[in-house]
Amino acid sequence: MAILETMDGVRHDLTKYGVPVLKIAPIDIVYNSENIKGRPGRNRTERYHGVRKLQLTLLLQAKNVTDTELLTDKLADILDGDEEFYIYQQLMTNSYKFELPGESSFVRALDNVEWTSHMYKRWKVERLNNDAVEWNGLRGKRVIEFETSDLPYGETPFTSLQLLGKEWDLNQIAWGLGFEWDDDSPQFTFASNNFTLKNYGQVTINPRYMPLRIVLRGNFSSGVSISNQSTGDTFAYNGSLTANDTMIIDGVSYLKNGQHITGQTNKKLISLKRGVNQFVISGGTVASISFDFPFYFK
């Protein structure tokens, strides 16, 4: 059950060609250790998430011999490129039925299959191993191994600010991803010096290798500091901001009105832990501050 999306946004629904079965393995854990002379055992120095492997099995049914070639060529066109792409899950909400006595194909059985697209979470992958289509008459099978090409986490195709747009159904997202809204809708833009922001994903947002864009406007005559008291992270800028200025922390870049200001900062970054993050902005008055980032899942 899978939908593939190329990096330029073209989506391919593999259920049009058969039954795609997607297996998503748990994330590998990478361990590093050292041996210390005279010390029994080993000293574990670090552990962190490695890559994630995914396996796609395609069960195919051709209409005739010519169709076997057409299906083989079409799947090669979709799957055999050298670029990475995104893969989404689909859920089988009504499964196929067994063949009746005397039936020689499962075309009729496939007609009963119903799919529900799960378009709120995707994995960025690249092909690792690849088998050719194995045809047995008009039935075919192809197995492809994938590996996450960047982060091993599932990610949302939308960011926090896009989440609040009209194109997304908050209730469906909450159900599909296990989000737990509070009484109020999620909020990622604030007009206060003290506020609480919630990371609804399962993974800490680390701007060193994850997208995080913070935009601040306000009046700060002699500097500003942004402190996430839940993580202990504090960013400081020793210049001034007026009502006409915009300061942006975009990943590891620091900008004021489009100009780099790294030399006037403490070069610290703000991370967002899973769940509640309590912020304090000091040095002046906040007109608005926004946080734009995707959500990640283990």
Would the pTM of this model clear 0.95, i.e. be above it? no
Whether 163 and 148 map to the same domain: the answer is no
Whether 175 and 237 map to the same domain: the answer is yes
Q: Which amino acid is at 164?
A: L
Alpha carbon distances (Å) from 246 to 76, 99, 154, 216, 290: 48, 65, 32, 6, 11
Whether 22 and 115 map to the same domain: the answer is yes
Query: Torsion angle, CA of 190/196/200/202, rounded to 10 degrees?
Result: 130
Query: Which residue among 132, 152, 172 closes a domain?
Result: 152
Separation between Cα atoms, residue 216 and residue 290, nearest integer Å: 7
The yes-or-no verdict on residue 86 having pLDDT over 60 is yes
Q: Which helix (H) or strand (E) is 22 found in, with range?
A: strand 18-24
Lowest mean pLDDT among 28-32, 39-43, 66-70, 196-200: 39-43
The yes-or-no verdict on residue 60 having pLDDT over 60 is yes
Please report the pLDDT score of residue 166 as a whole number.
56
Sign of CA dihedral 151, 156, 158, 160: negative
Lowest mean pLDDT among 70-74, 130-134, 207-211, 215-219: 130-134
Q: What is the mean pLDDT of residues 196-208?
A: 96
Whether 11 and 141 map to the same domain: the answer is yes
Whether 164 and 148 map to the same domain: the answer is no
Query: Which residue among 152, 179, 206 closes a domain?
Result: 152
Query: By residue range, what is the domain housing residue 287?
Result: 159-297
Residues composing the chain: 298
3-state secondary structure of 52: coil
Residue 17 has which token pair? 């060609």
Q: Quick: pLDDT tens for 31-42.
A: 988 888 888 888
Whether 143 and 22 map to the same domain: the answer is yes
Alpha carbon distances (Å) from 113 to 110, 116, 292: 5, 10, 38
3-class secondary structure per residue, 269-290: CCCECCEEEEEEEECCEEEEEE
The yes-or-no verdict on residue 100 having pLDDT over 80 is no
Query: Do the Cβ atoms of 99 and 107 come closer than 8 Å?
Result: no
Whether 14 and 146 map to the same domain: the answer is yes
Separation between Cα atoms, residue 289 and residue 287, nearest integer Å: 7
What is the domain-level CATH number for residue 284?
2.60.120
